[in-house]
């Protein structure tokens, strides 16, 4: 082993996490585009799936800020499992066609959103498993993100992007649900204005 190996491992670890966060940000952006571009209102369980995706990002942002640790990975994994549970339950809820229960929104490549979320949750769990199996090392963990200026700037920008996305989602939830229970019948605040 050369002296450069832990540094390279740390660089790969941070780069891998940054890539994961960018993919999650892209998924959340797609959800917003489908909501406002295609007029597809999210159901309460769909919104909880977004919360779970933001939760995974939380662990990654913590890692960027404080360094890699089991706690941060654990938090991300916790939200990935929450995403799997919620999306699995929603898929089972709508799996059998009956009045009042159909898959929310249109299908993308023939697969509806809750089923996509099951696949996304599994992909996140596999991605985290690979990270822990291949990119984890005690020496690499000791190297902070600040050691890699370009990666650090990109991580800060990606983190800010996720926070802005979350703020947009918060405003969107206020417009859709007000301060009451959420429904997929329309935007509650806009209906109140009209």
Q: Are 101 and 94 in contact (CB under 8 A)?
A: yes
Separation CA 193–CA 94 (nearest Å): 33
Instruction: Report the nearest approach of another protein to the CB of residue 18 (Å).
Output: 14
> Which residue's CB is nearer to another protein, number 9 or number 124?
124
Instruction: Report the nearest approach of another protein to the CB of residue 77 (Å).
Output: 13
Q: Are 193 and 102 in contact (CB under 8 A)?
A: no
Applying CB under 8 A, the residues found at the interface with another protein are 44-45, 47-48, 51-52, 54-55, 57-58, 61-62, 65-66, 75, 78-79, 82, 85-86, 89, 92-93, 95-96, 98, 156, 159-160, 162-163, 166-167, 169-170, 173-174, 177-179, 181-182
Instruction: Report the nearest approach of another protein to the CB of residue 178 (Å).
Output: 8
> Which residue's CB is nearer to another protein, number 64 or number 128?
64
Question: What tokens does 136 get?
Answer: 């984890």
Angle of helix 5-37 relative to helix 149-177, nearest 10 degrees, comes to 30
> Which residue's CB is nearer to another protein, number 14 or number 82?
82
Residue showing tokens 């995403």: 83
Q: Report which DSSP code applies to 20.
A: H
Alpha-carbon 132 to chain mean position: 19
> Which residue's CB is nearer to another protein, number 97 or number 149?
97
Instruction: Report the nearest approach of another protein to the CB of residue 38 (Å).
Output: 21
b/e string for 24-52 if b means 16 or more Cβ within 10 A?
A: bbeebeebeebbeeeebbbbebbbbbbeb
Question: What tokens does 124 get?
Answer: 């996140």
Instruction: Report the nearest approach of another protein to the CB of residue 47 (Å).
Output: 6
> Which residue's CB is nearer to another protein, number 9 or number 120?
120
């Amino acid at each position: 082993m050369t002296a450069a190996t832990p540094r390279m491992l740390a660089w790969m670890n941070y780069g891998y996490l940054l890539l994961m966060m960018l993919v999650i940000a892209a998924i959340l952006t797609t959800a917003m585009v489908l909501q406002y571009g295609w007029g597809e209102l999210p159901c309460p369980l769909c919104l909880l799936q977004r919360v779970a995706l933001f939760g995974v990002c939380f662990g990654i942002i913590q890692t960027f800020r404080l360094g890699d640790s089991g706690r941060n990975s654990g938090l991300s994994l916790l939200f990935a499992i929450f995403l799997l549970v919620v999306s699995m339950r929603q898929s089972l809820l709508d799996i059998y066609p009956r009045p009042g229960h159909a898959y929310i929104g249109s299908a993308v490549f023939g697969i509806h959103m809750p089923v996509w979320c099951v696949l996304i949750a599994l992909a996140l769990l596999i991605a985290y498993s690979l990270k822990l199996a291949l990119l984890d090392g005690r020496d690499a963990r000791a190297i902070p993100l600040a050691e890699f200026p370009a990666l650090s700037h990109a991580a800060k920008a990606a983190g800010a992007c996720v926070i802005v996305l979350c703020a947009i989602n918060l405003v969107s939830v206020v417009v859709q649900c007000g301060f009451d229970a959420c429904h997929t019948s329309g935007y509650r605040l806009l209906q109140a204005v009209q």
